[in-house]
Structure 1
């Protein structure tokens, strides 16, 4: 989760959350509204009905016991079939059909000599036929290629988009046992905890309710059961992921069951939630006797291993529905301790705790019944409590809450003030350093003059006349360096002759800084002015580099050798691209806030083709769903803006393409900001984008997502600058470069998309040579993996960029995997073969992104 203004959180936030002025005002209004609400609530204590007071004497049942017990053990299956003869030779078979159905966990535990975790799912055999897709109406001949297993939202409501397990074709051979139109599927995994499974109904085998996985708790709805249209297969998975909420329908009679909607593998349970029967694809039932016959064929289920998650969950449910809330809370907590992914147990522990507190009624004389039509205000008491005592308690509670709210927002203001003071001190230190360097250079120039030899008259030389005065040579002009590539730049130059980056002098005149394009206005791009920002250090769009200094936020171990660039004029360019994204270890069951986009196009004829590639990585902020929405909205906007223009572009001037990319990022910022204004949201995203046209790459970034360039013999170089607090502190010399990985403010950024109507966008131009590799990544990579390790992975992996991307993701997970991590690896090669390639090739995009008309 990310917060819009730019500070990364340390609990459930992946990055970036500081209080903006808008947030502070919202907090003040919230505090005032809360205070008014509490005052009104206290005033209404004397007029509420006794029914409200008496409601604390019992705890309402959240839902029927059968749904509560069974809902956490019901799973949804996504089954994929393929036809190998339709795929290209040597490639993996393409998915040609997909089906969905339900199953129920009937076992989970550690088995075997190595105590490996194994879990068992019972479902209808028609879903798992290895020879043909029986779940598709036409029953086409196909091979079962994979099964994905999704837990219900009652087990964990934070992970509905990620399967708990995926079983590939190789593992399926020994994982399925069938009998009596039933299938028993086994799966395991090192990251899977002990799971709550459903016991078979023995004492009471009569079905009383059908358990569904529907869209919400209020309706019984089932998804489309299968799809065999290859073009639509990619849309099937997001559709069935919406059906993970447990609901029930009573089936006390056969007529109830006949009229109910059905899914293959849907469990039927008795009154306490034990498995009594299972529904088949043709709408029939397989009873508990036939189920037991299949279960008895597996030794690990016949003699089940210990599973304290299952035992404590069942004990907790039994105690809770007997109103033994203290025992229920203890059991639920024990289950949640062993399996910290079991959110359902955690929530029921809280519910049981609240019920235990409210379950002890105030003693009342047996001859004084409560009238449902009288007020609590009776005989100077409220339900036996004196009015003055209730008023004092309520007033104390009100004062305490107001104090707590005031302290919270007071600390937020103090934290913001401290941050502003740090920025101001950093700016002052940087200014003093610049003045000190000017004085030292002045003294050095005076020393140079003083060391010039004094002219001596030679004997016999003619006397000097006017105009014969000889002067010593002027001191050399101090050498400045480009802050982008590190190469020497003449003083007063407006563009680097090596990397073609636009430059402007700093206020002191002894540094060069990058020049950013102006915000877009309603006129042609040729008339756009160029802005050079000034002000506090934290608000600078780019860095000021001392001669030979490091790039923004780059550590001593990350320092790399500047490039000496020579323009590559070849036209036969080829891009090999690999993309990967992973939610990370600590956010495995939460939505991935990272989004990425990769596409390439070839225009023109084979004699002079024009190769274009667009690659974008965005890291969302503002909470799981909001962060994901922000990153995807930003990517949707930039491709809507850029792709149509790139497909029609005829003018390939560097400054035009660089400015066009910058305007695309600016459009993305405006879209996220407008969404915040319309919905009262507080979300944002970082972005790094790379546009490659033939042999030139144009790079833009906002925030701390990075673009790197790797070149053989030169190593790894960070092209972009981080807009983060620690990067500014490194620039000012307050902290050392290596401290960016451990500093307490390492997760704070001061620039992101969506916070303001206009954002400053850093843009860069890089001229390519054959063999160059670009790496675009979110901070989930570089925060876990230092630059030397990233360089080693790129250098030592095979030329296949997909394998390089896999190795980078694995390195981030090995480093801790604390955040979502996304990478795009682009290898630029010289291709001498004139191959016929598609005019437009989509490589990767989020599911919800729609391509514009091209």
Structure 2
């Protein structure tokens, strides 16, 4: 199918010129924002972006307490681990050193380490996968230092973890249990064994504290948003370690006193500047019957500090289940046996901050103190921003968190101009990137004569009995093409997928490859053994699954020899529940019919023909979806990732953010495809870090899909040399967003059976949250091509039956 697009070129050129002009205007306005005049008073305040001194001092001692549980079932005595932990905050107290305690301690709420029953989030995660548990036990307890201590680098976040022996938890968290526990830490191999950052209760020598400046420190995500729940998923554990501070006046106190003034009808809003929520109007303690909204969002165990950075309270759960702050008496009772003395680390940290926050700042003294800290405690990455600012004689400290927008009541006068500057730069860069990409596409079209290359059937193949063009997928297994009158077709035996994966099958083990292997075609025939599974995800279990998958393996006879092949497709539909489901099903049906019709011939197909076959099938599927949208006034689309395996080569095509991976036992896991998403473009441009694709607000936005308004769809194609023992994984974003690449590799490396591998992958995605539809196909390559077997094919996994007619928007 060919079409001329030369008439569209003038319009495209005009559009490109407009985009280029827009980008230049945006970038030129950056200079105007930077050069905009500001009053002297505004300029003076903008130079000081430091957190409050007490917050800077104390936040390094706030930790995340992660309690992992095992659940047991009545009919199965074996414990079943829950990967999602119960989550709370805590504060480090006590220190190591001569004549001091032999342990560091963490102060945390008793209810957060309940040995009898876990938090509601963990109970729900277990029940969704296994049913109700009959009993529980604590598997292990981790205590993780936050980003203010470790630093914010990708290799620093979550890098320092201590543990608590479950046997140390002797309270059952009952009604008579104390609200707080001080539990000793143990240092696993590789953890620092020096004194840790600790908090102390108020000392007699402290200056008089300002009651209105009392602050609560909480551990949140990179955007400074309180967790607001009692558990985390596996993927969140190491990323949600950013401390913020909120005014203590915005959370409930315990014991609750009658308000001295009439409370306002609308609670003050959380005000965050640079990762620190600054105090607004001081409010009297609130009665338990009217809990403040922010209280339920702040994690249990969040410590309260005074204006000197001393520990004066902690967030606990009262008898009504509300989050309230304990008084300092409860803190003293819990940590009475634990020394309140600080070690060298906190002493030097306090001295450095005292010089840095002096009026005027004593930069020389603070630089010396911070340098000494960094030499003595190289794992204290949070010192570096203060050292850098001190050496530059600046009071500008970069915030730990990145706010999604300007907070109501923010006192930062330059926040608007900084936000405008970032937005203008980002928009300008994105517009220029769009111009460059469009120019490249236009030049490619011009070189190819303005049309996509069409697949041409060879002349000697014209008389072959190919598959009928409109054959439905359910009839594929029934279709047989005899080679000639003397050799009828012998279809592959229809056995369960698991029977192909016996461990006693001969597997060719490739020799160890060098560090940077150069993979090439080996000239061997490999039989693909697939298994697939799709699941709506626990968060969308009540809605139709918009994903569809397809897997078929077969044998064709070419030049007198058996040539194994397999076709595997994952499609993630869009446009509403039924529209998305129908879009993914229809795209698979069109692609599979066209590709299998060509594979059913006896004519040899070279690399170029197979690549073109894959690309054209995507183009035709997209055109059909686009026609449906126009004719039926629908809004359906889908992503596609597909692999056609022939002998020892995989021909991969991709549109959108569904992925294809290659797992080689010697090299490890490699992502073959490139996501056509906004966040992937931002990573390529260096705007965000790779790990931010899992949390960025625009992570669900893609710029390529089947069924769009464009006349053509620009599909990526790849040729992947394969070896015996390799595994291919095709999956939707519902899998890879919930299961990170290291865990995917761990499952694929440790599981020989593709069926077991897909089950583990889908289960892991649901355990980690199951926020989207989940689909996975795993294909294992083996040198076990059946001998003396005629052509045939077997459908291993087919798309779902279509639901009623998709609805109009």
- TM-score calculated relative to the size of structure 1: 0.36
Q: Which has the larger radius of gyration?
A: 1
- TM-score calculated relative to the size of structure 2: 0.38
